[in-house]
């Protein structure tokens, strides 16, 4: 169905309709400002009190030729009156700024879904650019007209008209089209435009000192809103009530932001200084962007000449006594693996962030995947175990960043913080934590020698944790050398003694396993025993949890559990696994956690494995689980 301005002019009263949740996607050219538009809609919905979950989908090219399919940038947000965990399987409404975006995204819209289109961009020339056959206009395609509520709006023209007397150039005016579109959507879903007006004022008028740009954007936003109201394109206006979230103060947070805040908090809780060394890499660079703005927290950021230099500087910063971090993605982990092995051998604490992306090799840098698990677990020479934690959602990044340091300093061992592009770029509401309730991280740098009669003993271990002391340069009497050659336990001297070597290998592994004593047990959602356990880790938390809820609503005996601690595993994992007839492990890889679980627990776990560069559709997970149950 095409809704035209003419049809609407018959003046039907606008109806209000309440919806539980809506997934909306903004798609356009990478120059169309879709990320900003989606981000604004998200913030406004969060402030309104909805639960939210977002998924930005960046093109691989920074500025692909305008109008081409590979330059399409998208931002999806689900906002809801109930507790949600994913940006939504199916798009209920979509804002489309050009034909290329239409072509690449239309299939994701639900039958009968709303598609608001900037018809001015649906030109012959643009059809050609995105590869539609000559003479074809998708807006005239009866199939599409039947499937969706397509609402063509001459956004470019209307934006220009509304800003005609602003005195600004066409280029600046055209850049406001996204705000016009946002205005329409705000009207349609009955949102206030105030948060975006404030944002535009703060960003353009205050920070960038361009009040005239703020002004035209605000005007376009309002024009879009009033257009929605007066043009009466929409017979109904939708309401999504605020969600009943836990009481408290909230903020919208992305995974990268939460990670940065978590690290700063960890350092504060330990009375330490944060030093971050990194090399630019998608999708991990956001982290250094956030941290480099926090210099007044004493945070030092070092943009190294390469990935290897970044891990080496991180190790040295730890040796010098800092809370040291490096961040990267899969290819960077490969380059850092020798360094990580050395850090493990030195027995120094640090956190290595891996924001996983779709690989192998360069792969699809802007897309997500979970296929670095085994690389992080085993991808070093010889026996080189490290601690591994994995945040499960954007807001969980905060807590796990603190946990990473807590475990790392306790065992004096590097910790890999295994995140992914989906978590790092996604956003959700975050119940602000009570800082006082976060346990301090106890750090002890010895100041007196443990061997008054001879040289300092850098590898004399704590009998409980097996950690060695963290003595730092600048401390008199504790001068010692660390090295990559095998060391004699206690003295740290170079040693080729066979028994010592075996003992050291076992000790380095054992001290990680001992951390299981202090990590929280794995929690299960759903029945404590039953037919199926859906076990996951990392960014699939939202879809697995939602799938579990749906399956239980359908009456099935299905529980879900999500591993945030991978090395070591929570102590009760074996027990949890044995309480279900079937263990299913959905992962965005070929079955890497499954391999570990099968090996450790001799459980015949079944995988649901997708490798499409994006998260699971909840419905797919539900269907696949049912198929396995019916086997």
Partner 1 sequence: MPDTALPTLKAKDFTSDQDVRWCPGCGDYAVLTAVRKVLPNLGRRKEDIVFVSGIGCAARFPYYIDTYGMHTIHGRAPAFATGLKVSNPDLDVWIVTGDGDLLSIGGNHTMHIMRRNVDINIILLNNKIYGLTKGQYSPTSELGKKTKSTPMGSIDYPINPLSLAVGSHCTFIARSIDIDVKHLNVVMLEAAKHRGTSFLEVYQDCNIFNHKAWFYATQKETKAETTFMLEHGKPMIFGADANKGLRFKGGSLEVVEFGEGTGVTVDDLAHHDETDRNLAFTLSQLAYPDFPEPMGVIYRNEKLESYERMLHNQIDEAIEKKGVGDLHALLHEGDTWIVDDEE
The residues that touch partner 1, with contacts defined as CB under 8 A, are 43, 46-47, 49, 195, 242, 244-252, 261, 264-265, 268, 273, 275, 277, 294-300, 302, 304-306, 308-310, 312-317, 319-322, 324, 338-339, 342, 432-433, 435, 454-455, 473-485, 493-494
Nearer residue to partner 1 within complex by CB, 142 or 305: 305
Nearer residue to partner 1 within complex by CB, 310 or 411: 310
Chain centroid offset of residue 612 CA: 16
List Cα–Cα distances, 533 to 57, 98, 439, 548, 566, in angstroms.
Answer: 30, 44, 32, 9, 17
448 CB neighbour count, 10 Å cutoff:
10
Q: 73 is written with which tokens?
A: 């940038």
What gap in Å lies between CA 631 and CA 626, rounded to an integer?
9
> Which phi and psi (to 5°) does residue 506 adopt?
-70, -40
Contacts of 484 (CB under 8 A, 6+ apart): 341, 342, 345, 346
Q: How far is the CB of 317 from partner 1 (least distance, A)?
A: 4
Q: How far is the CB of 21 from partner 1 (least distance, A)?
A: 17
Largest CA distance in the chain: 98
Q: How far is the CB of 340 from partner 1 (least distance, A)?
A: 11
Q: How far is the CB of 97 from partner 1 (least distance, A)?
A: 25
Residue with token string 């049912």: 626
Nearer residue to partner 1 within complex by CB, 146 or 483: 483
Q: How far is the CB of 550 from partner 1 (least distance, A)?
A: 21
Nearer residue to partner 1 within complex by CB, 430 or 569: 430
What gap in Å lies between CA 416 and CA 400, rounded to an integer?
11
> Which phi and psi (to 5°) does residue 416 adopt?
-90, 130
- For residues 258 and 397, is the Cβ–Cβ distance under 8 A? yes
DSSP code string of 540-571: GHHHHHHHHHHHHHTT--EEEEEESEEESPPT
Q: How far is the CB of 169 from partner 1 (least distance, A)?
A: 31
Q: How far is the CB of 305 from partner 1 (least distance, A)?
A: 4
Nearer residue to partner 1 within complex by CB, 343 or 416: 343
Peptide bond before 98: cis, by omega within 30 degrees of 0? no
What gap in Å lies between CA 466 and CA 413, rounded to an integer?
11
Q: How far is the CB of 359 from partner 1 (least distance, A)?
A: 24
Nearer residue to partner 1 within complex by CB, 139 or 482: 482
Q: How far is the CB of 46 from partner 1 (least distance, A)?
A: 7
- For residues 41 and 24, is the Cβ–Cβ distance under 8 A? yes
Half-sphere exposure of 234 (CA within 13 A, CB side): 24
In b/e form, how buried is each residue of 15-42, taking b as 16+ CB within 10 angstroms?
Answer: eeeeeebbbbbbbbbbbbbbbbbbbbbb
What gap in Å lies between CA 364 and CA 88, rounded to an integer?
22
Q: How far is the CB of 259 from partner 1 (least distance, A)?
A: 13
Q: How far is the CB of 178 from partner 1 (least distance, A)?
A: 19
Q: Angle 315-538-626 (CA atoms, 0-180°, nearest 5)?
A: 160
Burial class (CB in 10 A: 0-12, 13-18, 19+), 294: middle
Contacts of 496 (CB under 8 A, 6+ apart): 486
Q: How far is the CB of 69 from partner 1 (least distance, A)?
A: 34
What gap in Å lies between CA 268 and CA 274, rounded to an integer?
9
Nearer residue to partner 1 within complex by CB, 267 or 583: 267
Nearer residue to partner 1 within complex by CB, 262 or 539: 262
Q: 140 is written with which tokens?
A: 């005239």
Q: How far is the CB of 268 from partner 1 (least distance, A)?
A: 5
Nearer residue to partner 1 within complex by CB, 195 or 228: 195
Contacts of 419 (CB under 8 A, 6+ apart): 255, 259, 353, 354, 355, 356, 390, 391, 397, 538, 539
DSSP code string of 441-466: PP-----S-S-TTSS--TBPPPTTT-
Nearer residue to partner 1 within complex by CB, 80 or 314: 314
List Cα–Cα distances, 584 to 280, 374, 522, 540, 558, in angstroms.
Answer: 36, 19, 16, 13, 10
Q: Which has the closest alpha carbon to 234: 4, 464, 437, 451? A: 4
Q: How far is the CB of 48 from partner 1 (least distance, A)?
A: 8
Nearer residue to partner 1 within complex by CB, 251 or 552: 251
* 300-303 and 274-278 strand pairing: parallel
Nearer residue to partner 1 within complex by CB, 414 or 615: 414
Nearer residue to partner 1 within complex by CB, 481 or 581: 481
Q: 465 is written with which tokens?
A: 């944790």
Nearer residue to partner 1 within complex by CB, 56 or 359: 56
Q: How far is the CB of 119 from partner 1 (least distance, A)?
A: 33
Q: How far is the CB of 238 from partner 1 (least distance, A)?
A: 21
What gap in Å lies between CA 587 and CA 534, rounded to an integer?
11
Q: Identify any residues that bridge with 438 across adjacent strands, giving them in sequence order.
A: none
- For residues 60 and 364, is the Cβ–Cβ distance under 8 A? yes
Nearer residue to partner 1 within complex by CB, 306 or 604: 306
Q: 329 is written with which tokens?
A: 């993605």
Q: 341 is written with which tokens?
A: 């092995």
Nearer residue to partner 1 within complex by CB, 359 or 429: 429
């Amino acid at each position: 169905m095409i809704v035209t301005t003419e049809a609407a002019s018959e003046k039907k009263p606008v109806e209000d309709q309440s919806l539980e949740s809506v997934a909306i996607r903004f798609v356009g050219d990478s120059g169309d400002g879709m990320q900003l538009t989606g981000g604004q809609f998200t913030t406004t919905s969060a402030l309104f009190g909805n639960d939210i979950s977002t998924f930005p989908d960046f093109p691989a090219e920074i500025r692909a030729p305008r109008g081409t399919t590979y330059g399409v940038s998208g931002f999806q947000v689900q906002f809801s009156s109930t507790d949600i965990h994913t940006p939504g399987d199916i798009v209920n409404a979509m804002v489309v700024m050009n034909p290329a975006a239409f072509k690449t995204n239309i299939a994701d819209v639900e039958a009968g879904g709303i598609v608001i289109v900037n018809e001015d961009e649906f030109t012959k020339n643009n059809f050609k650019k995105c590869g539609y056959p000559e003479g074809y206009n998708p807006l005239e395609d009866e199939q599409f007209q039947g499937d969706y509520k397509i609402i063509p709006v001459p956004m470019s023209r209307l934006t220009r008209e509304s800003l005609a007397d602003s005195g600004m150039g066409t280029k600046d005016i055209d850049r406001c089209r996204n705000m016009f579109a946002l205005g329409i959507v705000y009207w349609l879903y009955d949102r206030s435009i105030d948060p975006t007006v404030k944002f535009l004022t703060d960003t353009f008028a205050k920070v960038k000192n361009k009040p005239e740009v703020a002004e035209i954007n605000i005007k376009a936003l309002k024009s879009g809103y009033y257009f929605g109201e007066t043009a009466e394109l929409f017979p109904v206006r939708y309401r999504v009530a605020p969600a009943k979230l836990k009481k408290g103060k909230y903020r919208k947070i992305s995974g990268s932001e939460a990670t940065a805040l978590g690290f700063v908090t960890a350092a504060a809780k330990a009375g330490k200084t944060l030093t971050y060394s990194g090399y630019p890499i998608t999708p991990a660079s956001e982290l250094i962007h956030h941290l480099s703005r926090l210099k007044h927290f004493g945070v030092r950021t070092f943009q190294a000449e390469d990935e290897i230099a970044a891990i080496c500087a991180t190790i040295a910063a730890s040796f010098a006594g800092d809370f040291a971090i490096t961040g990267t993605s899969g290819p960077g982990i490969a380059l850092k693996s020798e360094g990580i092995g050395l850090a493990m051998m030195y027995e120094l604490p640090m956190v290595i962030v891996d924001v996983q992306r779709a690989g192998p090799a360069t792969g699809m840098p802007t897309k997500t995947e979970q296929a670095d698990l085994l690389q992080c677990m085993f991808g070093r020479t010889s026996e080189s175990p490290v601690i591994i934690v994995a945040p499960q959602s954007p807001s969980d990044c905060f807590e796990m960043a603190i946990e990473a340091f807590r475990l790392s300093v306790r065992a004096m061992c590097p910790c890999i913080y295994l995140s992914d592009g989906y978590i790092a770029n996604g956003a959700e509401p975050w119940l602000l934590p009570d800082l006082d309730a976060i346990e301090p991280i106890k750090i002890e740098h010895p100041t007196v020698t443990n061997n008054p009669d001879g040289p300092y003993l850098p590898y004399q271990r704590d009998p409980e944790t097996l950690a060695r002391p963290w003595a730092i340069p600048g401390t008199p009497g504790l001068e010692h050398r660390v090295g990559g050659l095998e060391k004699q336990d206690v003295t740290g001297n170079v040693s080729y003694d066979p028994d010592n070597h075996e003992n050291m290998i076992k000790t380095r592994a054992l001290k990680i396993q001992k951390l299981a004593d202090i990590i929280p047990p794995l929690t299960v959602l759903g029945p404590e025993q039953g037919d199926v356990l859906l076990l996951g880790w990392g960014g699939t938390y939202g879809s697995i949890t939602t799938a579990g809820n749906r399956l239980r609503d359908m009456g099935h005996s299905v529980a879900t559990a999500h591993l945030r601690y991978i090395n070591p595993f929570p102590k009760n994992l074996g027990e949890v696994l044995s309480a279900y007839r079937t263990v299913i492990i959905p992962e965005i890889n070929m079955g890497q956690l499954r391999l570990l679980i099968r090996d450790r627990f001799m459980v015949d776990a079944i995988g649901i494995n997708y490798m499409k560069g994006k998260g699971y559709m909840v419905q797919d997970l539900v269907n696949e689980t049912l198929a396995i149950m019916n086997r």
